[in-house]
Chain A
């Protein structure tokens, strides 16, 4: 069976968008998800995964160094670290901020594209940043699938528009339909 990974990037307005996406994934969603939500370095109390868990049937964790990527689990980048995909495990880095962000969406997407190639599905959500645009290019160059939140449904349209401008998007999806879109994609690629 093909091993697929879903990576998700979000910034301003991201919590609600991610919660909506996760709450509309089916309970048996087969793929792992790795999420970068821009957050402040002080936000260390594990609040993001705990809050998301309330809205999501799949188990949600904050990723740790060398954690294995398990199907059907959701992983959130810890604050103040870049999250990377390293073969079948997660890796972390404290390298300088990229586009003012640590974690950076570009760093996650680029490493995931290198590790998963055409078996990667990348999702760019709401944000007032251009983080994710370079990553979107890398995803497409490696043959992956690129989905972008319909800017009309985004709290901030800057990030979706930057991704749309940077790479050949496979599908623009309203946020309310993103979970269902992924459910169907997973069903067809089994």
Chain B
């Protein structure tokens, strides 16, 4: 019984943005997209979604603001420490047998997840032979990720996560404190490539041993999720590892049976076919 006019206006908005700017939100999950669209309508001091379409079609600055509003970039270092523990226990032993390790962080946002992985690999002695490809559709978050500078006031929380993740040293060994900021060591970035990639419109660009796509596809509808799973399956080596967010699953996708569960709770899968 959803409001049919509201649904129509949101459809026209995403269609208009796609046709004019080529950015495709047409298959994002409706409920959370709707929330963010209304946040934009209010932030622009407008009343209807159709007014927002009018504005973004005629004002590229407004379009920039809308892009920022529509993407959810919330992330943190060692988010879900138990995931990193499981990765260390179940994935790291598999990676040891590879001479060269390619990892794709799809939807890396501001990079906290990538730096966390770099630290984990460093501590496991695997970083030297690893290459991390960190991609996002949003240039603004990538620019921040490349800097590796995070707010000092979140470091206590990250340090707690780091310890819970079973890491071996002190998080503060990896950064310099400068006033309100933590500058992460340049060397953590030596094997990281940050690049623009849109999961909706861009294709496969390499073959990976590990793909992490956590808390990105929750914003997609099922059809788009299916497409992205096809992309991941095609980009993952046989016996490669796929890690999803802790409340996501492969259920109902065409590739459900092409993976075995490595960790059912942490949503770590291994490609079997």
Contact = CB atoms under 8 A, between A and B. Distances in A.
Q: How large is the interface on A (under 10, 10 to 19, 20 to 34, 35 or more residues)?
A: 20 to 34
Interface of chain B: mostly helix, strand, loop or mixed: loop
Interface of chain A: mostly helix, strand, loop or mixed: mixed
A97 to B, nearest CB: 9
A114 B74 contact: no
B6 A114 contact: yes
A65 B248 contact: yes
Contacts of B75: 94
Contact of B82 (A44, A92, A96): A44
B11 interface: no
B222 interface: yes
Interface residues of B, number: 29
Contacts, number: 76
A39 to B, nearest CB: 14
Interface in A91-146: 91-96, 107, 110-111, 114-119, 142
Contacts of A78: 246-247
Contacts of B215: 94
Interface of A: 44, 62-66, 78, 81-82, 84-87, 91-96, 107, 110-111, 114-119, 142
24 contacts: A62-B247, A64-B248, A66-B251, A66-B252, A81-B247, A82-B32, A84-B31, A86-B29, A86-B31, A87-B30, A87-B31, A91-B31, A92-B247, A93-B32, A93-B72, A95-B35, A95-B74, A96-B74, A110-B35, A114-B2, A114-B3, A115-B31, A116-B1, A117-B2
